[in-house]
């Protein structure tokens, strides 16, 4: 509250801000404008109801996560999903988006395994490892975003956005930023499980979600082909190869092999002890690069290009400045120009592109004597 008051130039006290938050009083227009600017949102966002209501699903967290941290995370998720849905409405025909939410009935852990297999079939993924999980989820209209939190006690969360009639309009899977790729992928697959499964009350939903995540990232048919159906031991170096192949951690792979009966409980326990002795429990060797969500930035830029958002609105949405680049003009308008003028424009564009690629270290020949031909 002190920080927000200071960012607003001290025009209101933290006590006044607290009253606004609790609904005990209402800010003036001037204060509302300052408050919106400090929070980096439109003024209208502070006094209009959102078009959707966000509900959080499974909250995978350690018991010691502070309530304050939990509230911050939940507020972040709700606000971001609301904003992404507004953008989605601008660029997509949302009525045609069908999400497989609560589609798979799970009455046992074996059902969770089958749910992962069935979803892969619905999405035509075959049995191959998933090269880019975030790209896959975004292509299927699941919003993916990360949250900056200093607390290592937060792993992930999933959420749905409902309209006034109670229809689900959007869904999101969220993980903590800065995790290695193997942990990031498992977290997101785990949260996806909470969205697509309909778990019976007598089934441990967390165990079912882990089973789904393992099966989704490492399908049993391919994994058993790689390692065999029965093993009395398995080498660390082999686990590292499997880690790169399927994009999941050594520990998750061991858990998966035990689930499939490839290794027994004693082999699993012994392997976990060896991992701890090597210091791999917290920091595994050869971490995989994190995947990067692209949907928000790509569609914000698209909305700017199509005149659906201003540059300033898009910058607030993606949280970074948009660098203006030289635009290619409409072909028909271009062809109506005099020939000499067209050549001059093409030479300027070619020079700009060449300079751009040289800065990137890519000095390939653009062809046509430096002129891009239409």
User: Contact at 8 Å (CB) between 233 and 252?
Assistant: no
- CA-atom Rg of the chain in angstroms: 25
* pLDDT tens digits in sequence order for the chain, 374 residues long: 889 988 888 888 989 888 888 888 888 888 888 888 887 777 766 766 667 888 888 665 555 677 778 888 888 898 899 999 999 999 988 778 889 999 999 999 999 999 999 999 999 999 999 999 999 999 999 999 999 886 777 888 999 999 888 889 999 999 999 999 999 999 999 999 999 999 999 999 999 999 999 999 999 999 999 999 999 989 999 999 999 999 999 999 999 999 999 999 999 999 999 999 988 888 899 999 999 999 999 999 999 989 898 888 888 888 888 876 545 556 667 777 788 877 877 787 777 777 666 655 544 444 433 433 33
User: Contact at 8 Å (CB) between 154 and 71?
Assistant: no
Report the distance separating Cα 269 and Cα 216, nearest Å: 24
Task: Count Cβ atoms below 10 Å from residue 137 Cβ, excluding itself.
Answer: 24
User: Contact at 8 Å (CB) between 257 and 227?
Assistant: yes
**pTM given for the model:** 0.78
User: Contact at 8 Å (CB) between 175 and 80?
Assistant: no
What is residue 146's three-state secondary structure? strand
Of the candidates 53, 55, 14, the residue with the CA atom closest to the CA atom of residue 35: 14
Question: Nearest 5°: phi and psi at 294?
Answer: -125, -15
Pairing state of beta strands 168-176 and 197-199? unpaired
């Amino acid at each position: 509250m002190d920080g927000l008051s200071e960012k607003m130039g001290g025009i209101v006290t933290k006590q006044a801000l607290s009253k606004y938050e609790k609904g005990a009083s209402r800010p003036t227009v001037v204060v509302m404008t300052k408050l919106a600017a400090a929070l980096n949102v439109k003024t209208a966002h502070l006094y209009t109801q959102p078009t959707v209501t966000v509900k959080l699903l499974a909250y995978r967290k350690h018991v010691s996560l502070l309530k304050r941290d939990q509230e911050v995370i939940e507020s972040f998720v709700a606000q971001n999903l609301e904003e992404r849905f507004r953008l989605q409405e601008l660029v997509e025909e949302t009525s045609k988006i069908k999400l497989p939410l609560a589609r798979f009935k799970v009455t046992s852990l074996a059902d969770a395994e089958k749910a992962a297999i069935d979803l892969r079939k619905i999405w035509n993924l075959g049995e191959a490892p998933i090269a880019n999980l975030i790209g896959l989820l975004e292509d299927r209209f699941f919003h993916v975003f990360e949250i900056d939190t200093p607390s290592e006690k937060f792993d992930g969360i999933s959420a749905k956005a409902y309209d006034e009639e109670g229809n689900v309009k959007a869904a999101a899977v969220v993980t903590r930023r800065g995790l290695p790729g193997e942990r990031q992928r498992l977290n997101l697959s785990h949260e996806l499980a909470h969205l697509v499964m309909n778990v019976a009350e007598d089934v441990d939903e967390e165990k079912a979600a882990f089973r789904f995540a393992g099966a989704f990232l490492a399908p049993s048919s391919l994994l058993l082909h790689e390692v065999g159906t029965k093993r009395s031991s398995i080498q660390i170096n082999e686990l590292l190869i499997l880690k790169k192949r399927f994009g999941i951690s050594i520990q998750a792979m061991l858990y998966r092999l035990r689930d499939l009966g490839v290794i027994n409980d004693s082999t699993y326990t012994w392997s976990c002890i060896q991992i701890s002795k090597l210091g791999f429990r917290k920091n595994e060797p050869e971490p995989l690069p994190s995947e990067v969500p692209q949907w928000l930035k790509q569609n914000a830029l698209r909305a700017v290009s199509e005149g659906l958002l201003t540059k300033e609105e898009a910058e607030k949405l993606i949280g970074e400045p948009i660098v203006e680049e030289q635009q290619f003009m409409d072909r028909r308008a271009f062809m109506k120009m005099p020939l000499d003028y067209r050549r001059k424009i093409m030479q300027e564009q070619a020079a700009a592109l060449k300079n751009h690629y040289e800065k990137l270290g890519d000095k390939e020949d653009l062809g046509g004597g430096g002129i891009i031909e239409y």
